[in-house]
């Protein structure tokens, strides 16, 4: 395919594998518009400039709404959340204050925005925290959009035909605004595998290579380009032989996609009769319609935070009920697993008085917050119970560690139901479960299992806490491995505890959508896997090919291996033995 040494006439540019897959097409070289701030044409009217600033913020908010909707449709809720974070930056009171102060001092709105956003970005770049340093790029993206609104410049250049987009760097707002059918692949000189652009590309299924030094100088508009996002390689002017190989690989991808599509309406049942429910993770009710082409059997994670973000006060019970019941109705009898408010750490709401914490990832978040803010928890539980009058709803609580927390949370559900009963408001029963994200909860799973109806394993945080790795930190991100045997041992412990207690257990973290991990999760006793919609067909293919009895033996073997690489090798060999090869 795109591998091997260059043939005569070819040029190969090595980069970073940012999003897997192959692409072949003409290059479209993207150069952003010039947003140089002009000097003032005359005396500055602070009142008029302030009005222009406010109008620009409104315009950018509306643009971010459109970008979020497109990202949600093309990639998913995690990707759309990038633009929710950008909206918070547009409304940031510190940024607003700096711009207004500069305008009052005689600056134009453009000059004030340029200075404030750059100062803000540089300040973040000086911090020790890797996550906050990464937000500097978000600040500059938002500043660029604000400047374009003030200058009347268009940021909406789009290829005329399906193309490989080549750029020095791309902001999330660039990547999300292009129609998916116009983007064959992405090549950038800057960035890496953990950038927001890489996240958006992976979610949308667009091959991408980052860190391709010299690409802008080397590529001509319209030049044939091969993008190998799996190997991190770009080939300019591919030879006829390479083009043929890539075209054959793309045809094989298309054939594979047709094979997977044929599984849409078939159940995820192993050859020896074990049934696994394959569900989808969503962040808004409308995500269900976008997931339907992939055949979800329910929603295994409804992130409810979207109702609480970008506002100065919490949503009321009625607004929450409308969102939850819309999801229930869209599912038409399939189960909705609703996660209660999960904020804290990097998601902080302005209407909550947050404590100063040295390590907020281990602090006041998830169910810990809910138990201390019964006003928020009761409104959410009442809305969920009311939605359950129209279809199956399960409620799960995040960041739970102890049996006492579980008891208090179940009591909160009972109090919400009792209050609705007293008021004569229709409501239905709900399953009550907890997310297993904390190693202590996994180790105590046999104790906790008697107090809940189900477990749902959040493998992202479970991995982070088990391995003591902040996966947003470039220095230690290489240690983050959800297939580490220590993590797998905890998952196996949870699965076996659920089986003994007669409750169901599932996975809603990223590992649930990883086809390579599916045999282990099956063998560990998981009866539900929830994931990004695009992952459903391939995971279903694996489940339908693997005997449950064999998967149980495999799971017991994998936890004894020395490291994650050994686990991957064994899983690949196991899948090869049943005739399945994951795409990436």
Q: What is the pLDDT of residues 459-481, one digit of tens each?
A: 989 999 999 987 666 577 678 89
CA angle 171, 176, 178 (to 5 degrees): 110
Residue partners of 536: CB distance under 8 A and separation at least 6? 278, 280, 291, 294, 295, 296, 513
Known binding residue 550? Answer is: no
CATH of domain 11-32+159-258: 3.50.30.10
Q: What's the farthest any 2 CA atoms get from each other in the chain?
A: 81
Residues 350 and 510: their CA atoms lie apart, in Å, by 29
Q: What is the pLDDT of residue 246?
A: 93
Known binding residue 460? Answer is: yes
Query: Predicted confidence band at 2 (pLDDT cuts at 50, 70, 90)?
Result: very low
Residue partners of 126: CB distance under 8 A and separation at least 6? none
Contact between residue 406 and residue 400 where contact means Cβ atoms under 8 Å apart:
yes
Residues 281 and 303: their CA atoms lie apart, in Å, by 8
pTM beyond 0.85: no
The two counts, helices (H) then strands (E), for the chain are: 22, 16
Residues 119 and 136: their CA atoms lie apart, in Å, by 10
pLDDT tens string 18-32:
888 899 999 999 998
Query: Predicted confidence band at 164 (pLDDT cuts at 50, 70, 90)?
Result: very high
* Mean residue pLDDT across the chain: 89
Question: 18 in helix, strand or coil?
Answer: strand
Known binding residue 461? Answer is: yes
In the predicted structure, residue 510 carries a pLDDT above the cut 90: no
Residues 365, 366, 368, 371: what is their CA dihedral angle, to the nearest 10 degrees? 130
Known binding residue 437? Answer is: yes
In the predicted structure, residue 400 carries a pLDDT above the cut 90: yes
Query: Predicted confidence band at 129 (pLDDT cuts at 50, 70, 90)?
Result: low
Residues 339 and 456: their CA atoms lie apart, in Å, by 10
Residues facing residue 188 across a β-bridge: 167
The answer to whether domain 264-578 has CATH 1.10.3720.10 is no
Known binding residue 281? Answer is: no
Known binding residue 471? Answer is: yes
- Structure-token pair, residue 572: 């690949």
Residues 289 and 37: their CA atoms lie apart, in Å, by 43
Residues facing residue 82 across a β-bridge: none
Contact between residue 117 and residue 98 where contact means Cβ atoms under 8 Å apart:
no
Query: Predicted confidence band at 131 (pLDDT cuts at 50, 70, 90)?
Result: low
Contact between residue 415 and residue 378 where contact means Cβ atoms under 8 Å apart:
yes
Query: Predicted confidence band at 369 (pLDDT cuts at 50, 70, 90)?
Result: confident
Superfamily of domain 47-151: PtsI, HPr-binding domain (1.10.274.10)
Residue with tokens 């599916």: 518
Domain boundaries, the chain: 11-32+159-258, 47-151, 264-578
Q: What is the pLDDT of residue 349?
A: 64
C-alpha radius of gyration, the chain, whole number: 25
Residue partners of 18: CB distance under 8 A and separation at least 6? 186, 188, 191, 192, 193, 195, 197, 198, 201, 202, 208, 209, 210, 229, 232
Residues facing residue 167 across a β-bridge: 188
Distance of CA 253 to the CA centre of its chain: 24
Query: Predicted confidence band at 354 (pLDDT cuts at 50, 70, 90)?
Result: low
**Which positions are catalytic?**
196, 508
Residues 220 and 56: their CA atoms lie apart, in Å, by 35
């Amino acid at each position: 395919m795109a591998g091997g040494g260059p043939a005569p006439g070819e040029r190969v540019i090595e980069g970073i594998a940012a999003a897997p897959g192959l692409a072949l097409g003409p290059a479209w070289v993207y150069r952003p518009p010039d947003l140089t701030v002009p000097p003032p044409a005359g005396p500055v009217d602070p009142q008029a400039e302030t009005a222009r600033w406010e109008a620009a913020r409104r315009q950018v908010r509306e643009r971010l709404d459109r970008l979020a909707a497109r990202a949600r449709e093309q990639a998913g809720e995690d990707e759309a959340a990038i633009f929710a974070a950008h909206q918070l930056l547009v409304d940031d009171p510190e940024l607003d204050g700096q711009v207004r102060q500069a305008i009052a001092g005689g600056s134009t709105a453009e000059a004030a925005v340029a200075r404030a956003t750059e100062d803000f970005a540089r300040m973040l770049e000086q911090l020790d925290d890797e996550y906050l340093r990464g937000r500097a790029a978000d600040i500059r993206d938002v500043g660029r959009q604000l400047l374009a609104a003030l200058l009347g410049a268009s940021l909406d250049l789009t290829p005329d035909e399906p193309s490989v987009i080549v750029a020095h760097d791309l902001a999330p707002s660039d990547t999300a605004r292009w129609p998916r059918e116009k983007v064959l692949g992405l090549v950038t000189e800057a960035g890496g595998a953990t950038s927001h652009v890489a996240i958006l590309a992976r979610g949308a299924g667009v091959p991408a290579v980052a860190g391709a030094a010299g690409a802008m100088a080397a590529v001509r508009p319209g030049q044939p380009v091969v993008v190998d996002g799996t190997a991190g390689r770009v080939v300019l002017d591919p030879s006829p032989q390479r083009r043929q190989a890539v075209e054959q690989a793309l045809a094989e991808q298309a054939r594979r996609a047709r094979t997977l599509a044929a599984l849409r309406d078939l159940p995820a049942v192993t050859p020896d009769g074990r049934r696994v429910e394959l569900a989808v993770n969503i962040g808004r009710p409308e995500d269900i319609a976008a997931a339907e082409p992939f055949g979800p059997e329910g929603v295994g994670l409804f992130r409810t935070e979207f109702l609480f973000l970008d506002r100065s006060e919490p949503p009321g019970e009625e607004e929450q009920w409308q969102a939850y019941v819309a999801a229930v109705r869209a599912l038409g009898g399939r189960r909705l697993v609703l996660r209660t408010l999960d904020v804290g750490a990097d998601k902080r709401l302005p209407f909550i008085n947050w404590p100063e914490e040295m390590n907020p990832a281990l602090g006041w978040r998830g169910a810990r917050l809910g138990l201390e803010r019964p006003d928020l928890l009761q409104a959410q539980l009442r809305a969920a119970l009311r939605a359950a009058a129209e279809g199956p709803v399960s409620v799960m609580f995040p960041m739970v560690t102890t049996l006492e927390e579980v008891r208090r949370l179940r009591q909160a559900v009972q109090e919400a139901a009792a209050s609705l009963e007293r008021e004569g408001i229709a409501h239905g029963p709900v399953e009550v479960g907890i997310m297993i994200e904390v190693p202590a909860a996994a180790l105590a799973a046999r104790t906790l299992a008697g107090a809940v109806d189900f477990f749902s394993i959040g493998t992202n945080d479970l991995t982070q806490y088990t391995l003591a790795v902040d996966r947003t930190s470039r220095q230690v991100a290489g240690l983050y491995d959800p297939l580490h045997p220590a993590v797998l041992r905890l998952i196996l412990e949870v699965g076996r505890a659920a089986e003994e207690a007669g409750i169901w257990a599932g996975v809603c973290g990223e590992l649930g959508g990883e086809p390579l991990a599916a045999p282990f999760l099956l063998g560990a006793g998981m009866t539900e896997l929830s994931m990004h919609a695009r992952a459903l067909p391939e995971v279903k293919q694996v489940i339908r090919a693997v005997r449950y009895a064999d998967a149980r033996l495999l799971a017991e073997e994998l936890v004894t291996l020395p490291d994650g690489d050994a686990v991957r090798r064994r899983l690949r060999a196991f899948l090869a033995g049943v005739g399945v090869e994951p795409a990436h």
